[in-house]
């Protein structure tokens, strides 16, 4: 068992007082001082080691933590009216350029196109008929004109012959009449030359009339040539109608083509707004998809830091969806107005009370992320290097 010892009397019980506290030796005070200085130096070093990168970054980097991935996002709408017959894509599906996104029924468009084609065929046949008639009429008029010219030539020749006969007869008549006055010729001879003169005169008149008739025939032929101008007018009219029919056929072909909606580029389906069987009208949204490769970053930078940035400025990028990865990029676009100027609702200050708020201006940054599938709307952080 432990030995029990009696308690020692206290200083009050013995009547003794506390001895005065002696000062610490100078060596001990020096060690404490140097220890404190060392700890302070270590603390300052740690703070400097931890704070120096922040200070450097404060002056060499512009940090933007509310940026987002953007891409070419296209909303495909219907350009025609009809019922959706095919919608082969789902949200998240990949689609290749030229792939079918949706189809709209062609029950009415196809017959209308066929009717326009048939009308064009009939119009072409009518034009061909009029042109054939024109060619035939030209040939007939050419033949008639040649015949009329030949008739004029023959009539003029006969007329010249009749005039020659008339001149000869007139000469004989004059000679016989002179001899008859001198009683050298008989009355019978005079009567004969008078009759011959009358006959020659009538023949010359008939030859002249035949010449005029031949010329009149030529004038008729020339007048009939105006029918060619009439046919040309008819052909032009039909051809003008054909242009309208051709435009109608083109519209029907475009309408039929618009009933098959294809992707313009490789992309991923983001949304479907209709289902198979729904009736749509022009402007109805069908699907929305975005490009796989053409992505960038849209960010807003403070106006106080905007002057530090220029086109081509390098940037480091982190994407919240891919922690631990850093991507490279550069500034490829800088906005021309603050975001407040683009707001749908303006913020006037009629009361006169004013609180100055740092404005933001938009910039666009490229991102090199080969092998990483970035989606529009993903949050990213940007560190723009403005050391230069």
Q: Averaged in consecutive runs of 10 residues, what is the pLDDT profile of the chain (388 residues)? A: 45 47 57 76 73 54 90 92 93 92 90 90 93 90 86 86 85 78 73 82 86 86 84 91 91 91 92 94 94 89 88 92 92 83 65 75 90 89 85
Q: Are 66 and 377 in contact (CB under 8 A)?
A: no
Give the pLDDT of residue 356: 78
Whole-prediction pTM value? 0.57
356 Cβ contact list (under 8 Å, min separation 6):
none
Residue 137 falls in which region: left (phi positive, over 0), alpha (psi -120 to 50) or beta:
alpha
Three-state secondary structure along the chain?
Answer: CCCCCCCCCCHHHHCCCCCCCCCCCHHHHHHHHHHHHHHHHHHHHHHHHHHHHHHHHHHHEEEEEEEEEEEEEEEEECCCCEEEEECCCCCCCEECCCCEEEEECCCCHHHHHHHHHHHHHHHHHHHHHHHHHHHHHHHHHHHHHHHHHHHHHHHHHHHHHHHHHHHHHHHHHHHHHHHHHCCCCCHHHHHHHHHHHHHHHHHHHHHHHHHHHHHHHHHHHHHHCHHHHHHHHHHHHHHHHHHHHHHHHHHHHHHHHHCEEECCCCEEEEEECCCCCCEECCCCEEEEEEEEEEEEEEEEEEHHHHCCCCCCCEEEEEECCCCCCEEEEEEEEECCCCHHHHCCCCCCCCCCCCCCCCCEEEEEECCECCCCCCCCCCEEEEEEECCC
Give the pLDDT of residue 90: 93
Give the pLDDT of residue 336: 78
Q: Are 385 and 61 in contact (CB under 8 A)?
A: yes
Sort strands 279-280 and 326-334 into parallel, antiparallel or unpaired: unpaired
Tokens 């996104």 appear where?
A: 101
Q: How far apart are CA 260 and CA 272, in angstroms?
A: 16
- Enter the CATH code of domain 61-105+264-344+353-385: 2.40.50.100
For 109-256, which CATH superfamily applies? Helix Hairpins (1.10.287.620)
Instruction: Give domain limits for the chain.
Output: 61-105+264-344+353-385, 109-256
Q: How far apart are CA 274 and CA 367, in angstroms?
A: 34
Question: Mean of the per-residue pLDDT values for the chain?
Answer: 83
Give the pLDDT of residue 11: 46
Give the pLDDT of residue 344: 63
């Amino acid at each position: 068992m432990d030995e029990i010892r009696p308690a020692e009397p206290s200083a009050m019980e013995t009547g003794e007082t506390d001895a005065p506290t002696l000062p610490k030796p100078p060596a001990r005070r020096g060690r404490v001082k140097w220890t404190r200085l060392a700890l302070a130096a270590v603390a300052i070093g740690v703070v400097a080691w931890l704070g120096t990168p922040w200070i450097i970054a404060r002056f060499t980097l512009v940090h933007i933590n509310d940026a987002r991935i953007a891409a070419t996002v296209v909303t495909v709408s219907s350009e025609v009216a009809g019922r959706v017959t095919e919608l082969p894509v789902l949200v998240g599906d990949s689609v290749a350029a030229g792939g079918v996104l949706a189809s709209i029924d062609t029950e009415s468009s196809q017959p209308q196109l066929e009717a326009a084609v048939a009308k064009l065929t009939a119009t072409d046949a009518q034009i061909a008929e009029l042109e054939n008639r024109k060619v035939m009429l030209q040939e007939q008029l050419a033949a008639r004109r040649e015949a009329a010219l030949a008739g004029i030539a023959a009539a003029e020749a006969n007329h010249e012959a009749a005039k020659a006969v008339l001149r000869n007869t007139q000469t004989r008549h004059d000679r016989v009449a002179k001899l008859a006055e001198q009683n050298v010729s008989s009355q019978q001879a005079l009567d004969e030359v008078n009759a011959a003169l009358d006959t020659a005169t009538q023949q010359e008149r008939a030859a002249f009339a035949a010449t005029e008739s031949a010329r009149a025939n030529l004038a008729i032929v020339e007048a009939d040539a105006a029918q060619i101008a009439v046919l040309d007018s008819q052909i032009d009219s039909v051809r003008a109608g054909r242009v309208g029919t051709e435009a109608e056929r083109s519209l029907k072909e475009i309408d039929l083509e618009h009933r098959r909606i294809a992707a313009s580029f490789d992309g991923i389906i983001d949304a479907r707004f209709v289902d198979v069987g729904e009736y749509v009208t022009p402007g109805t949204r069908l699907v929305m998809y975005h490009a796989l490769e053409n992505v960038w970053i849209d960010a807003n930078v403070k106006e106080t830091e905007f002057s530090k940035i220029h086109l081509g400025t390098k940037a480091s990028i982190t994407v919240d969806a891919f922690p631990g990865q850093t991507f490279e990029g550069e500034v490829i676009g800088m906005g021309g107005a603050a975001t407040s100027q683009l707001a749908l609702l303006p913020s006037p200050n009629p009361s006169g009370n004013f609180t100055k708020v740092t404005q933001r201006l938009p910039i666009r940054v490229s991102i090199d992320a080969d092998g990483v599938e970035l989606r529009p709307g993903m949050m990213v952080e940007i560190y723009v290097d403005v050391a230069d």
